[in-house]
Structure 1
Amino acid sequence: METSTEGPAEAHSGSSAPADPPGGAEPTAAGDAAAVTETVAVAIPPASLSPSRASDFMQCPLLYRFRVIDRLPEKPSEAATRGTLVHAVLERLFDAPAAERTAPRAKSLIPGQWDRLRESRPEVVELFADDPEGERMARWLGEAERLVERWFTLEDPTRLEPAERELFIEAELDSGLRLRGIIDRVDVAPTGEVRIVDYKTGKAPRPEYAEGALFQMKFYALVVWRLKEVIPRRLQLVYLGSGDVVTYDPVLADLERVERKLLALWDAIRLATETGEWRPRPTKLCGWCDHQEHCPEFGGTPPPYPLPVRAAQSDGVPQGRMGPD
């Protein structure tokens, strides 16, 4: 799983200075009932790249803009929220001694992790706002249980001792591009060989689409290589929805190829950021997009561009889809 690690908070270089009050107003004295308590979200040019945001730009440059620059809100989905819940359960299961990492133990973690998720992300409560009897939520939680149970048919947690779980990684390339992401699990063999594991709660893609899923894993492998000067021995995708395990053993040429691809992608993102030209790319996935009301392909209008722009120049950097390699 790869959650977004990009946005204004991360784009700042560690500054913790408070934001200026809205409209440049002077803050009022302490205790004043009219004290200013709001802050204004300021658009900031993208400063790093994660697998999710790289995939967004390849899928549709305008979608990337909506998510990274405009930061338009998106409704939570049952599938994505269930994925977050299952990931949390599998992460927490490894807190228990090896012999106690059983399917019943894992399923018993679901209610508590669901409570924590609702507390940390109140918007997910909206998913079941029209379910007063709780029947749909019960079915949804039941599906989460089935996904957790299926994991035990694919891996044996009593024989695993992860070196890292939900590991945030970040590396800066020689070009200055920062790559970052979150790895579900890192296993290290006694011989020092590294395996990167990612859980997917959906089904494994057909072979002709498998390379797209491996792009995320090769991205992680590139960052690990740049950080540790070690090429991961194996990349492993665990598809809980279909009960499949997909593995790939990368070599140096794979990582060098991904790095070249990301540099070209970043050039295209920087050009779009500077010119304000973010083109939509219609696909079948548009039917699930939360931003149709702002998309020209659906008769919508994007919000005013919040960053300064310069005139576009024809420098040969294309927008649109770029293949996984």
Structure 2
Amino acid sequence: MEQLGFEFEVQPRRLTKVSPARLATFDDCPRRYRMAYLDRPTPTRTGPWAHSTLGAVVHNALRALFDLPAAKRTPARAAALVSEQWNDAGFADARQAAVYRERAQAWIADYVEHNDVSATPIGLERWVSAPVSAEPGTPASLIIEGRADRIDERGPELAIVDYKTGRRAPDEYEARASQALAIYAVAAERTLRRPCHRVELHHLPTGTIAAAEHTEASLRRHLARAGETAEDLRAATDNLAANGDPQALFPARPSARCGWCDFRPSCAEGQQAAPPTRSWELLAP
């Protein structure tokens, strides 16, 4: 009988695990990445942000809505779910919080009124993960993973839905250019074993739905870009573990965003780059 041979000298390639949030954080500012994911204890952060609270409430209310039987997914019930999920963290005061609570109730009620919400999604806040290669025909080099807001069945294929509550309505270009949506599409296809090319941004304040249909080539381009960032991220992390200089390996990238960075209290460069943003100033007007 022929014996199986093993190359004990050859070490298996270590896969870098990345999420859209990790990739975006490292691309924006390696210093913030180090503080968020590597430094222990975690450096001092700012308090809660009102726009983040608002977004979380809307996401949680929509998830709760789709957990209900289809007949109970009414505009009135959707608005009530906003109140049930609400908290005032980050708002200037109770009066401002009440204004935005009413706005969020109107947004979600209108969304239910003008969109078909009768179908039950295949995934709600669904965690998807898959090993992938950054280049065609090569072994897997990274594991992409993340939590998709919603995964719908659209005929034989899947569609990724991401909710937005920001100042500006998205367009098709933004949907197509979103690395996060592309990663969710690839990971969902591998996890759920169904084709997935359609991605959608649902902007609750305006009712805008910005959609794009990916091709295999466009998804591959997103994976290639993710692979490049993952390689840089892994190299910096490995060198840090080998007692490399954290300031040199994870440099700050000062910009206007430093005004609302979570780690502004722990970053001297960020404090010098921009004045502090108050916790409610990023809310849509």
TM-score strictly above 0.5: yes
2:77 aligned partner = 105
Partner Cα separation in structure 2 for residue 252 and residue 126 of structure 1? 42
Label 1:101 to 1:258 Cα distance change in 2 as closer, same or farther (>3 A).
same
2:179 counterpart of 1:220: no
1:150 aligned partner = 110
CA contact (8 A) 2:182 2:222 kept: yes
1:310 aligned partner = none
Structure 1 stretch 146-155 or stretch 60-69: which is displaced more? 146-155
1:66 aligned partner = 35
Q: Which of residues 50, 66, 79 in structure 2 aligns to 1:94?
A: 66
For the residue of structure 2 that corresponds to 1:127, the secondary structure is: coil
* Structure 1 runs, 4 residues or longer, greater than 6 Å off: none
Q: How far is the alpha carbon of 1:181 from its aligned partner?
A: 0.7
2:171 counterpart of 1:202: no
Partner Cα separation in structure 2 for residue 143 and residue 169 of structure 1? 32
Q: Please tell me the residue identity of whatever aligns with 1:68.
A: Y
Q: How far is the alpha carbon of 1:50 from its aligned partner?
A: 1.1
Q: How far is the alpha carbon of 1:157 from its aligned partner?
A: 1.1
Q: How far is the alpha carbon of 1:211 from its aligned partner?
A: 5.9
CA contact (8 A) 2:176 2:212 kept: no
Q: How far is the alpha carbon of 1:228 from its aligned partner?
A: 4.4
1:35-184 equivalent positions in 2, closer than 5 A: 48-70=17-39, 71-72=42-43, 73-114=45-86, 127=90, 131=93, 134-152=94-112, 154-158=114-118, 160-173=119-132, 174-184=139-149
CA contact (8 A) 2:129 2:187 kept: yes
For the residue of structure 1 that corresponds to 2:210, the secondary structure is: strand
Identical-residue share of aligned pairs (%)? 31
Structure 1 stretch 76-85 or stretch 176-185: which is displaced more? 176-185
Higher relative contact order (CA 8 A, sep 6+): 2
Q: How far is the alpha carbon of 1:219 from its aligned partner?
A: 1.1
Partner Cα separation in structure 2 for residue 113 and residue 99 of structure 1? 21
Partner Cα separation in structure 1 for residue 162 and residue 183 of structure 2? 12
Q: Please tell me the residue identity of whatever aligns with 1:192.
A: P
Alpha-carbon displacement from aligned partner over 1:63-118 (angstroms, at most 9, x marks no partner): 1112111233342111111111111111111233323211111111223223xxx6
Label 1:209 to 1:156 Cα distance change in 2 as closer, same or farther (>3 A).
closer
RMSD: 2.7
2:201 aligned partner = 237
Q: Please tell me the residue identity of whatever aligns with 2:128.
A: I
Q: Which has the higher strand share?
A: 2
Partner Cα separation in structure 2 for residue 219 and residue 49 of structure 1? 10
Label 1:149 to 1:258 Cα distance change in 2 as closer, same or farther (>3 A).
same
CA contact (8 A) 1:170 1:179 kept: yes
**What is the TM-score with the length of structure 1 in the denominator?**
0.66
Label 1:181 to 1:206 Cα distance change in 2 as closer, same or farther (>3 A).
closer
Give unmatched runs, 5+ long, in structure 1.
Answer: 1-45, 119-124, 301-325
2:150 counterpart of 1:185: yes
1:18 aligned partner = none
Partner Cα separation in structure 2 for residue 206 and residue 170 of structure 1? 26
Q: How far is the alpha carbon of 1:259 from its aligned partner?
A: 1.6
